[in-house]
Amino acid sequence: MNVATVSNPSIAFARRRSPRARARVGLVAFAVAALALFAMWLVRPDWQSLPLRSALAEAARDVPAPVEDFYRRRGYEPLWSEPSGFWPFRRARLIPEAELLATRITEAMPKRRDVSAAVRAARGGDVEHVAQAELVLSRAFGDYRRSLHDSVAPARLAWLDPALAPPRDTAGVLEEVARAPSRRRYLDLIERVNPMYDALRRGLAEYRADWSRLPQNPVADGPALAAGATGPRVKALRHRLGLADAGEAPFDAPLASAVRRFQNVHGLPATGHADRATIAALNRGAASYERLIRANLDRAQAFPTSFDGRLLFVNVAAAQLSLIEQGEVRETMRVVAGSPAMPTPAMAGEIRYAVFDPYWNVPVDLVRDRLAPQVLRQGPSYFEQRGFEALSDWVDGAHRLDPRAIDWRAVAQGRIDLRVRQRPGGGNEMGRVKFMLPNELGIYLHDSPHRALFGQARRWVSAGCVRLQDADKVASWLLGHGIGAANRAAPDRHVDLPHPTPVYIAYLTAAPTGDGIVFYPDVYGRDPALLAAMGAT
């Protein structure tokens, strides 16, 4: 027997312990270790996510730089997943919002099969699979978020103010959702459609109920059909508009009323007689008008999800402006918009200030193409009598030039860019006030001395800016006072708005009204390109 062993009683006692006693000692040791780990977790709860964050850091090496930068800036804290089980076990799971997002992405973008595959793999709880699913979701979310506001239209809405524009880059989209107090509420919010889109969508259903259900038989081309007309064309017209068969009865009041209703909806002069334009519109068929509504749904998709607060909405195709407050149209008025040669662009910006009794700074292309040729034909007196003045350059303090000393032929040929402005006054093209929204195109809303233009049906004759039928009402709505009060001050006076007010300048050839969808002329010829682009998607 070993003497050392015998002389150490504790060792001898340990050897004599029963298996049950040794098991109790092991359990105590395990409990102490578990308590130590729990205490560590209480001090540093983020330790629980260490395996998931480590897996994200490893997997993020293979994703585009903007996504990797987003996760690196937040210390690889997950956005769509969370640990499951206690550290150091390498288990994780997707949060419920991730499953919801995956469903919406695959419904909206069926080609993104990688999303559903990654989510299925993550359901096993392996931390590497969850990290991969997290990154696949974040990359797909950028595409999905943009798709909610994207249009396939070649002439898209230009966002002049970043504060109004929906986020475009993936990192910006991810930052937006990371800042949201509730991810579920955020996902529901971005799915909301704007009031214009929603009204168009309801209008499409109403159009189908009102017009697509009618017979789609053709009406032969020929002379206009009006009261008293008879023959097979009248009978075909009556059938096309859903009226009861009246045999050989002539064109009567009920038929005229049905024609007038069709004309009101389809952007035609409501004469009540079927001229060639009306018959051509009837023969286009309801399906073609349904396609136009869907094309304008695509255009309307770009607008914000809500029309809260106060804003101005210009529909160039209707040559109309609406003053909107808390989603309700308070006022409407006619406008004069850009001609087909100089179209008003679709844009969204903010009106920051008004200029009362303004100068008109004539665009260089108008000086070249219109003003200089007129001076060459009529002489410098044409220039002076209309209140124009030429300046030496575009800096403050530029001096006036003698129009008789200007080489107008060189200006007309584009060899000289000449700064010209028109002095304030009754004949000034800006009228009494202009409302400014910063943009490089020089587009703004303004008064006009040419009042007769607002009485015309075709009001697309400006150089691109939007002329207002009732600028005084717009001034009162934006500033709280009209033009008369402001014009007691000096000419060309800048007045800041109490709050910048959004303005959306859109081009909708089918738009909702209180009486349903109304179609407007495609004055800029943009519909065919949009319809072709939609057919390719």
Instruction: Assess if residue 171 is contained within a domain.
Output: yes
Instruction: Assess if residue 37 is contained within a domain.
Output: no
Instruction: Assess if residue 7 is contained within a domain.
Output: no
Task: Please report the pLDDT score of residue 5 as a whole number.
Answer: 43
pLDDT of residue 106 exceeding 80, the answer is yes
Nearest to 141 by CA among 66, 59, 58: 66
Give the predicted TM-score (pTM) of the model. Answer: 0.79
Task: Please report the pLDDT score of residue 29 as a whole number.
Answer: 64
pLDDT of residue 327 exceeding 50, the answer is yes
Interstrand relation of 445-446 and 466-468 (parallel, antiparallel or unpaired): parallel
pLDDT of residue 41 exceeding 50, the answer is no
**pLDDT band with cut points at 50, 70 and 90 for residue 440:** confident
> Tokens for 94?
């997707």
Task: Please report the pLDDT score of residue 14 as a whole number.
Answer: 44
User: Could you tell me if 410 and 509 lie in one domain?
Assistant: yes
Instruction: Assess if residue 428 is contained within a domain.
Output: yes
Interstrand relation of 158-159 and 493-506 (parallel, antiparallel or unpaired): unpaired
CA–CA dist 467, 447 (Å, integer) = 6
Interstrand relation of 347-356 and 158-159 (parallel, antiparallel or unpaired): parallel
CA–CA dist 93, 80 (Å, integer) = 9
User: Could you tell me if 382 and 478 lie in one domain?
Assistant: yes
Residue 466: partners with Cβ closer than 8 Å, 6 or more residues away: 314, 316, 321, 335, 336, 337, 344, 443, 444, 445, 446, 505
pLDDT of residue 34 exceeding 70, the answer is no
CATH number reported for the structural domain that contains residue 431 in this entry:
2.40.440.10
**Mean predicted confidence (pLDDT) in 97-105:** 93
Burial degree of 124 (CB within 10 A; 0-12, 13-18, 19+): exposed
> Tokens for 378?
């009529």
For 208-239, the pLDDT digits (tens) are 999 999 999 999 999 999 999 999 999 999 99
User: Could you tell me if 367 and 514 lie in one domain?
Assistant: yes
**Mean predicted confidence (pLDDT) in 419-424:** 94
Instruction: Assess if residue 438 is contained within a domain.
Output: yes
Instruction: Assess if residue 363 is contained within a domain.
Output: yes
> Tokens for 527?
């519909």
pLDDT of residue 88 exceeding 60, the answer is no
Which pairs with CB-CB distance under 8 Å and at least 24 residues apart come from 24-33?
Answer: none
**pLDDT band with cut points at 50, 70 and 90 for residue 36:** low
User: Could you tell me if 51 and 116 lie in one domain?
Assistant: yes
User: Could you tell me if 156 and 117 lie in one domain?
Assistant: yes
User: Could you tell me if 66 and 186 lie in one domain?
Assistant: yes
Interstrand relation of 466-468 and 328-338 (parallel, antiparallel or unpaired): antiparallel
**pLDDT band with cut points at 50, 70 and 90 for residue 503:** very high
User: Could you tell me if 186 and 335 lie in one domain?
Assistant: no
CA torsion through residues 453, 454, 459, 461, sign = positive
User: Could you tell me if 252 and 360 lie in one domain?
Assistant: no
Number of domains in the chain: 3
CA–CA dist 470, 353 (Å, integer) = 17
Q: Which domain holds residue 85?
A: 47-191
One-character DSSP codes across 466-484? EEETTHHHHHHHHHSS-HH
User: Could you tell me if 176 and 227 lie in one domain?
Assistant: no
CATH number reported for the structural domain that contains residue 233 in this entry:
1.10.101.10
User: Could you tell me if 388 and 522 lie in one domain?
Assistant: yes
Average pLDDT, the chain: 88
User: Could you tell me if 384 and 451 lie in one domain?
Assistant: yes
Instruction: Assess if residue 197 is contained within a domain.
Output: no
For 236-274, the pLDDT digits (tens) are 999 999 999 988 899 999 999 999 999 999 999 999 999
Instruction: Assess if residue 424 is contained within a domain.
Output: yes
User: Could you tell me if 450 and 381 lie in one domain?
Assistant: yes
For 157-192, the pLDDT digits (tens) are 888 887 787 777 888 889 989 999 999 999 988 888
Task: Please report the pLDDT score of residue 308 as a whole number.
Answer: 78
pLDDT of residue 37 exceeding 80, the answer is no
Contact of 508 with 519, CB cutoff 8 Å: no
